[in-house]
Structure 1
Amino acid sequence: MSLPAGPPLPLSGVRVVDFSRLLPGPWCTQTLGDLGADVIKVEQPEIGDYSRFNPPMYKSVSAYFNSVNRNKRSIVLDLADEEDRRVAMELAARADIIVESFRPGVPEKLGIDYASVARANPAVIYCSVTGFGNRSALGRVPGHDLSIQGVAGTLGKHLAPGKAPPMPTFQAADFTGAAFATIGVLAAYVRRAATGAGCYLEIPMYDSLVSVSNVALSGALARLAGYSGKPEMEPWGRNPRYNVYPTRDGKYVTVCLLEYRGWKRFCDYIGRSELAPEESWADRHTDHADRADAFRAAISAFCLAHDRDELADMMRKAEIAICPVYTIDEAIVSAHAIDRGIVDFMEHPADGPIPYLRDPLFWAGLTDPIRLPSPDLDEHGAEIRAELAGPRPPPPRHEG
C-alpha cells in the first residue's frame, strides 16, 4: 500500500552517518531514513552489525536486523585501518547528523568524536546513544535493556521477598532511548535551520527510561517530597477493573473499566447496575477495598461465560473496553491490524516479499518506509566511496 505522490519527505537531502548497532541507534536512524534522510550505515568488516545474526531469519537477513535498518546504505570500514578511518572522517565531515553508540573513549581514540568532527564540520548534529551515561559511575558498564530497567526501578516496581520480578517483554530502555535520540536530533536540526549551530547531545537509555516512568515512580516521588506516597494508583493488578481475565475457551481478555462511565455501562450491560453507585474520580485508580471481591467476581463470571473472540466482538459493539489478548502471531493478522494497515510487505532483493511494521507518520505523508530494503553488508560501499571523491557540499544555510 502506498500513498499518492506528495511533497518531498521532511528530511530529503539530509545526510546521516550511523556508527551505531543493535537497537536504539539503528531504530533512531531508520526513523530518520523513513523521514527521507540519506542514512549511511558504517559497519565493521566481515561481521557488520551483529544484529544481522539475531534469530529468526528470513532467507538471508535477520527479521530483527531488517526491522531497524531499512532505508539505509551500508559501507564497511575497518576503523583500526588508517585509510578506512580517513574515509570515516570524510563521511563525518559531510554529515548533517551523526549517531553513534561506541563505548566511552572509543570515538576519541578513532578521531571521530564530536570535538574532532566539529572542527571540520561545526554545523554537525552529533548524537551519542549510551547506556547509563558516559560520565556516570556506571558509564563503562554495558548498557543492556534489562540492566537499565533494573537500575531505573521499573523492573522492581512490585518486588516481593523471595520472588524474582517477571522478565519484561518490551525493551523499554532501548526504545525510550531510541525515541529521545530521534526527538533530540530533530529538535537540534530545527534549531540549526534557524541559527546554523550544530550541537552535541548524549542520550543515555537510563535517563530516557526514568524520565517516562513518572507513573511507576509516583509513590517514590511523593515520599521524596516528604509525603506518605500512599495510596498509590493501582494499574498494576490489584484493581479488579483494570486487569486480565480468562475466558471460557482458555484465552484471555483485558478489562479496562477505570472511568465511572465505562464501569456503569458495563454493569448495566450485564444486569448488575447495583455494582455502580456514584463514586469519586479518585476511586477509579484504587484497589476498591471492600468492593473489590464483588467487582472481581462479576467480571470474572461474565468473561468465563464467553469465548474470547465472541466476548471481544460483543464488547466492541457495546463500546466497552474489554479487548482480546492475542498471541504475537494473532496480533499481526488481526482484523484491527489489517484495518489499520499496520503490517505491510516490501520487496527484498534476496528474500522476496517480507513484512514490516508501518509507523503512524506514514498516513500524513511524512515517512516512506519502502524506499530501500535493509542493506547487504557493504552493499553501497563502492558508490559511497565514489561520492566522497567529489567536492564537499556547501555548509547548510539557515534562516538567522
Structure 2
Amino acid sequence: MTLPLEGVKVLDLSRYLPGPFCTQILADFGAEVIKVEDPKGGDLGRWLPPLINGESARFYTVNRNKKSITLDLKKEEGKTIFKQLVTTCDVVIDQFRPGVMSKLGLDYEKLKEINPKIIYCAITGYGISGPLRDVAGHDLNYLSLAGVTELTGTYQGQPAMSGVQIADIAGGTLYAVSAILLALIHRARTGKGQLCDIAMLDGSISLLSYTLGEWSGSEKLPERGNDLLTGGYACYNIYQTKDQKYISLAAIEEKFWVQFCQKINRKEYIETQLIPERQLEMQEDIRGIMLEKTRDEWVDFFATSDICLTPVLTLDEMCRHPQVAAREMILKLTSDNSDGKDIVLTGVPIKLSESPGEVKLTFPKLGEHNEEVLSAVGYTHEELEEFKKKQVI
C-alpha cells in the first residue's frame, strides 16, 4: 500500500516536542524524515528524564520511524553537506529562534537559491516578525500571552496550568503539519516552494475562536471558571464522587439535560438550566447527589442514558479503555533492555480509509544513518571518515 507522503524527504533540525512530533506525523504517513543532530549529544530531547536504557522515554514518543545523521552546522564542511542534502529534499524544519539559521547562512532565502522547490517550515514561539520575535519562551508563556491561561482554572481561584503542552502541540505541531501539507499542494500546482512561518503564540490564539465570538456577542469579558463552558453552569461541570474520583457532565443541549435531571430525580432543574442566578444552588445540590455513588457506579447508572457523561480517567485507566483500544490509540514498545520498562506511545489519530498511517516502532540512534544518507548524495566512505575525524559529523 502506498502512503500519502511516500517520496517526500524531510530534513528535521527541530528538537524536544513541537517539531519532532510534527515530523513523526509526516513519517507515519510515509515521509522519509532525516533528523539532523549536533554531533555533541544530538537532540536535547534524547536526555530528558526519565531515562530508559540511557535515553529519554519522551524521545521515543515523538521520534519513531526516522533516520538520524550528525552534522556540525557551525563548521563550513557541515554547512556544505547540509546544502547538498537540501538539493535532494522537499522540506526543511527549523525550530531555532529567528535569526539563528540566517547567521549560519542556511535560512530560507539562501536555501531557495539552491533548491527553489524547498519548503521551509520555521516553528518559533512568537513568529519571525513582531517585537517578540527574538524572545525566549515555553508553552506556559505562549498560553499566557494568548489569554488562554487567564481563562483556565476554578472560579475565584488563580490561573491554572494545563496538564498537556497545548501551545507546543496544537499551536506548533499541528499547524506545522497543516502548513507543510498546504505548501506541498501549492508546489504541486506551481512548482514553487515557500516559507511556512508557524508561531506557537499565533496557534494558541486561534484556539480562542469560539471564546472570542462569545466575548464579542456579549461585550463581557469571560470570567475564569464561571462561564457556560468553564465550570460556571451545572450542566457542564466536573463532579466528585463517593470514592474521591470524578465524572464529567456536558449536558448542554436541552435533550441531554432533561434526561440527566429525570435520572437524578430533579425535574425542577429542567427549566432553570441556563438561568445564571440558579447555578450555584444547582451545582451544590448535584455535588451532594454525586457523592452518593462511586464514579464507576455512576457510569453504570447512566450507561443507557444519552446525556454526555464520562468518567475522568487517569492515564493508566485511559490506556485500558475499550474505546482507546478499538481505535489503536495506545501502543506499547515492549522492553528488551535491562531496565525492564515498557514505553507507552500514542497511535495514529488521523484515520484514512485508503492510505492509513503506518506505525513502525524503530527509533534512530544518534548518527545511525550518517553513511546511508550522506553516501546517497555523493560522499565517499573516505570523505565520511575524514568528516568524523574533524567532528563535522
TM-score, normalization by structure 1: 0.86
> Of 65, 73, 92, which residue of structure 1 is paired with 2:59?
65
Q: Tell me the equivalent position of 2:199.
A: 204
Alignment: residue pair count: 375
> Which amino acid is the alignment partner of residue 318 of structure 2?
A
Q: Give the match for residue 253 of structure 1.
A: 247
Asked if residue 360 in structure 1 is aligned to residue 360 in structure 2, the reply is no
Whether contact under 8 Å (2:348, 2:359) holds in the other structure is no
**Aligned with residue 240 of structure 1, among 206, 209, 234:** 234
**Is 1:80 the equivalent of 2:74?**
yes
CA change 1:42–1:324 in 2 (3 A) is: same
Matched, 1:386 2:375: yes
Q: Where in structure 2 are the equivalents of 1:1-400 lying within 5 Å?
A: 7-157=1-151, 164-175=158-169, 176-218=171-213, 220-221=215-216, 227-228=219-220, 233-277=227-271, 286=274, 288-346=275-333, 354-362=343-351, 364=353, 366-389=355-378
The RMSD of aligned alpha carbons is: 2.7
Deviations 1:34-59 (A, max 9, x none): 11000000011121111111222322
* Distance (Å, rounded) in 2 between the aligned partners of 1:100 and 1:60: 26
Q: Would you say the 8 A contact 1:315–1:321 is kept in 2?
A: no
Instruction: Find the aligned partners of 1:230 and 1:153 in 2 and give their Cα distance.
Output: 11
Quote the residue 1:396 is aligned against.
Answer: none
Q: Distance in 1 between matches of 2:176 and 2:3?
A: 20
SS of 1:382 mapped into structure 2: helix
Give the SS at the match of 2:195: strand
Gaps of 5+ in 1: 1-6, 391-400
1:180 Cα deviation from its structure 2 partner: 0.7
Distance 1:45 1:76 in 2: 5
Matched to 2:196, the amino acid is L
Q: For residues 300 and 96 of structure 1, do their structure 2 counterparts lie closer, same or farther at Cα, with a shift above 3 Å needed? A: same
Contact 2:152 2:160 in 1 (8 A): no
User: 1:271 deviation in Å?
Assistant: 2.5
Q: Distance in 2 between matches of 1:230 and 1:248?
A: 32
Q: Distance in 2 between matches of 1:370 and 1:168?
A: 28
| TM-score, normalised by the number of residues in structure 2 | 0.87
Change (3 A) 1:152 1:63: same
Give the 3 Å change call, closer, same or farther, for CA 86–188 of structure 1 in structure 2.
Answer: same
